[in-house]
Copies of this chain bind each other. A is one copy, B any other.
């Protein structure tokens, strides 16, 4: 039936043995943990330029200095995470580190911000991916949103199939991305200094024009550009992918990632500024730089394509992490329990669907524009940075050892700086959507609390302690709804009689002729069960039946009413569309009636 279609689409169920994860060395593990961070070079440089837009400043010179300051922050954050890896060799996300060092409440806040963060990672990555596509193919620029939503759909599909992140498969595009970016930066710098290529072929010298430059502007630019750091936290979350010794491999990977990220970010920023690139709504900064460097040829398309793939991989890391975090929170009683259910393919289906739905909503709500989503994303990430670094600072402080003071200072300074960046985002971008994060996190916390209290209420209500007899006797009032007198009805009548008690068959008359037919045939059955005919009110037969059953239950307040439903089951599942679903509708409607037991007696059609 439905499962056949399901298996065709999502693959056959896996066995436990197939679901084991493998451990990887640095070159392959790098692919899985670094894509998220590397993908941020697709939009970070552009954000700095955007901060200066309309500021009356010749941005290019200042922007390079802002980029250098961001590199400093990147150094601090990377060092803090290096310490996290050393202190939490089992893997420590913001949730774990904050909960252990700053208390359960702060941990829960970190959990909520991570949920927001993962959702925005998907939304930002797919919109940036769509921007990369439409930069290369401007004729489909109007389908930006559809492309982004299509990518979410693809990721949901692959995740439900349980497609594992195959590092072997992903390694070529990720390294292609790194290499093509480096080639672009080198070729670009050489061409600039030898041929003097620029986007705007304009002979202005690169001057440091200070009119209109304010401290606020600098801070905004710094905050905007710090989206380059997003994704650095992934390494410390994913120690499980590394071969032993995990800690050493993870630290080396983090170092490698930090160096690569810094070089790519600074390189692209510098090129963009040397080229005097301008912000364009239809083309990304990276695309402009690639086009000027290479021209619109195969190399250009390689840059765009590998950027797209790295962004999709980045989004996919959320499709791995979000359902796992949601399942963890659900096991702690903070989210709905069905989130812990593994599907046939050993993935958390509901978590995947929820993430897909939320990120689609975000993409649509923000018109598929990366720069509108980035402040929200940055806030989520930087709350995590702040809490993690504060946590690790407390951790180091409580366990003093020779040489641990510098680590404490790094983590503490990092926590303060990232905290400030979070606040800057919140204040500066509040009306541009940052209020959503400020609303979302408390809403998630309230949800956590409501769910936890529901579960404890239910547990109390279901406890066998102080249990007294149920309010009614069983099986004494029996109702058999019938639509006609045919073979499917006979076993139901037999079952009803076997239950004992007062049995009646009930027929709702929608058509005078049909009803007379039913009564005539009923008489032929020569049964002692009385047939009650109810008039059809309005549309359908369900309502009068429910009313009748309700009345029976009401007039026998100490007894259970058993409704025995005859139901014929067609041979093929798709034959069901050919028959009215009266039994199903009746069952659904009776679900909330108290003291009503529903018994389904099937009759299987021979063909």
Shortest beta-carbon distance, A429 to chain B, in Å?
28
Alpha-carbon separation in the docked complex, A607 to B13 (Å): 38
A596 at interface by CB-CB < 8 Å:
yes
Measured CB to CB, the nearest residue on chain B to A497 is B474
A16 at interface by CB-CB < 8 Å:
yes
Residues A495 and B475 in contact in the complex (CB < 8 Å), given A341-B539, A596-B602: yes
Whether the Cβ atoms of A598 and B597 lie closer than 8 Å is: no
Whether the Cβ atoms of A539 and B346 lie closer than 8 Å is: yes
Shortest beta-carbon distance, A100 to chain B, in Å?
24
Cross-interface CB contact of A342 among B458, B474, B499, B540, cutoff 8 Å: B540
Residues in B whose Cβ lies below 8 Å from that of A470: 490-491, 494
User: What is the 8 Å Cβ interface bit string for chain A, positions 504-546, against chain B (1 contact, 0 not)?
Assistant: 0000000000000000010011000000000000111000000
Whether the Cβ atoms of B474 and A540 lie closer than 8 Å is: no
Shortest beta-carbon distance, A516 to chain B, in Å?
16
A398 at interface by CB-CB < 8 Å:
no
Residues in B whose Cβ lies below 8 Å from that of A1: 592
Within 8 A of B (CB), among A556-607: 560, 562, 568-570, 573, 575, 577-581, 587, 591-594, 596-607
A200 at interface by CB-CB < 8 Å:
no
User: What is the 8 Å Cβ interface bit string for chain A, positions 425-455, against chain B (1 contact, 0 not)?
Assistant: 0000000000000000000000000010011
Copies in the complex: 2
If over half of A's interface residues share one DSSP class (helix, strand or loop), that class is named, otherwise mixed; here it is: mixed
A328 at interface by CB-CB < 8 Å:
no
Residues in B whose Cβ lies below 8 Å from that of A580: 337-338, 341
Whether the Cβ atoms of A486 and B457 lie closer than 8 Å is: no
A35 at interface by CB-CB < 8 Å:
no
Residues in B whose Cβ lies below 8 Å from that of A399: none
Shortest beta-carbon distance, A153 to chain B, in Å?
16
Measured CB to CB, the nearest residue on chain B to A488 is B462
Cross-interface CB contact of A461 among B343, B451, B605, cutoff 8 Å: B605
Whether the Cβ atoms of B498 and A454 lie closer than 8 Å is: no
Residues in B whose Cβ lies below 8 Å from that of A474: 491, 494-495, 498
28 contacts between A and B (CB under 8 A): A1-B592, A16-B538, A336-B577, A336-B579, A337-B580, A338-B581, A341-B540, A341-B580, A342-B539, A344-B539, A457-B605, A462-B568, A462-B605, A463-B486, A464-B487, A464-B490, A464-B524, A474-B495, A475-B495, A495-B597, A499-B499, A569-B592, A573-B592, A587-B600, A591-B602, A592-B604, A594-B602, A599-B599
Interface residues of A (CB under 8 A from B): 1, 13, 15-16, 142-143, 336-338, 341-344, 346, 451, 454-455, 457-458, 461-464, 467, 470, 474-475, 484-488, 490-491, 494-495, 498-499, 521, 524-525, 538-540, 560, 562, 568-570, 573, 575, 577-581, 587, 591-594, 596-607
Question: With A344-B539, A461-B606, A462-B486 given, can you name 20 additional A-B contacts, CB distance below 8 Å?
Answer: A142-B142, A336-B577, A336-B578, A338-B577, A338-B581, A341-B540, A344-B538, A454-B575, A457-B607, A458-B605, A462-B488, A463-B486, A467-B487, A470-B491, A475-B499, A499-B499, A569-B591, A594-B602, A596-B602, A597-B599
